[in-house]
Chains A and B, each alone.
Chain A
């Protein structure tokens, strides 16, 4: 864990507290979204997040200016979705990204937030909505991230896996997924269906699974990612199951969104069953005979056998099983 990042992470929460109080005074709604909100929504944060993403319908310039004079504020420009600011307090930088795209109804709630030694209440996006946003961001080539945003992609997968692990891949979440697709299509002027978004995300996840040399997740992204981790070390072998599992959930949605819950729970049951070497060798063989990436299949069998089960489900359609 990087100490500098720890300081910045603490500052994100402190800045949120100040901005929430100001928004409240102005009678405007401010919702905490993005990676920092996600970490705040987890029972125990897993990684540091040094950016503050907020949805705010009022005048963002006015709101951010209230941080002065304690903070030196720089306006870093606007994009189609965000207005970017940089807040500097005694040399500790917080990047504040403000969007006017408010999460839909039911996608945020008032929660107690604890951090930097203080507890306060704020509107925060629900874990289901945050997971839906993360999943859409993985769809490179449609409404997701740009292909060169390796580190961000890695963080998205890490976060999505944590939320899936906590049981937030619910029907409600898939409903938000469809809404986020709709909103992003509107902003970009595109017409990708949620199924197309999910399929492209699966492709991007399989290509980026950090296992073998042909992967698109490079060593430098992995090494930088270590700095953000609160506990332990992320290795290629420990991260790859997160990629494959997230891909399996998206593949289940793409295959038949009306049965996504039953499908994912049946995949989970299969992956949780006891795995013998013989069974894993058979699975690997079957994957290769269906044209799967040979190297990925072998490496998963060795280092992440449960992920091999998810991978098999993605490559071999259940009807052919």
Chain B
């Protein structure tokens, strides 16, 4: 997460001590986005806090170079007119979305107690969820690309497929992760080059990885069938 993102999170958390604020950005998997030119800060909180956060952020001088989107069905900004007039001064984009009661959120030492960030796996799934709802300045295609990129680069990024799959299931996207996993691993062994034959227990990721790939192949067949129909 970029330092600037943490600054934004800390400020919002300070303004709303009674609300759990989740903050994160796309800096960790920026390469996955073809058409996104700058980092995007994501701020998530309970539904009733979204508009107050947007209003407070729009009025706060420390966010003068920010363009804020409120993640609603139709993305909007409160400071859109201002943004158009001073488009060369806008360096940052932030999106305020509904999201709370996260399982195992991360709160690091020195952070306000109500500020959290999300594991990378959660972030990718959240991007897909909100892009599909049309709430982001990111298309669903880009969001799915980012998810695939993260799964493809799981070693470098430290992505845990089991965590990703479990969280995605919570967002009704388990099938999507399975499908992408299947497409990325067609004909390949899962995770380790050889299946252990010496009686060692397979890593959970490997066992589940195979399960996900099987599920994914069924999804792929279903998709192919639909494509044939159309």
Contact = CB atoms under 8 A, between A and B. Distances in A.
A302 interface: yes
A235 interface: yes
B175 interface: no
B48 A277 contact: no
Given A276-B17, A281-B18, A308-B18, A302 B113 contact: no
Contact of B52 (A233, A303, A308): A303
B52 A277 contact: no
Interface in B1-41: 16-20
Nearest to B59: A233
B17, B18, B48: most-surrounded residue (chain A CB, <10 A): B18
A284 B49 CA distance: 15
Given A299-B48, A302-B16, A302-B19, A277 B55 contact: no
Nearest to A274: B17
B48 A280 contact: no
Interface bin, chain B:
10 to 19
Contacts of B65: none
Contacts of A277: 17-20, 113-114
B17 A305 contact: yes
A6 interface: no
A276 B16 contact: no
B9 to A, nearest CB: 14
Contacts of B18: 275, 277, 280-281, 284, 301-302, 305, 308
Interface string A298-321: 110111010010000000000000
Nearest to B114: A277
Contact of B17 (A233, A235, A280, A284): A280
A237 interface: yes
A206 to B, nearest CB: 19
Contacts of B56: 237
A308 B16 CA distance: 13
A305 B18 CA distance: 6
A304 to B, nearest CB: 9
22 contacts: A233-B59, A275-B17, A276-B114, A277-B17, A277-B18, A277-B19, A277-B20, A277-B114, A280-B17, A280-B18, A298-B48, A299-B48, A301-B18, A301-B19, A302-B18, A302-B19, A302-B48, A302-B52, A303-B49, A303-B52, A305-B17, A308-B18
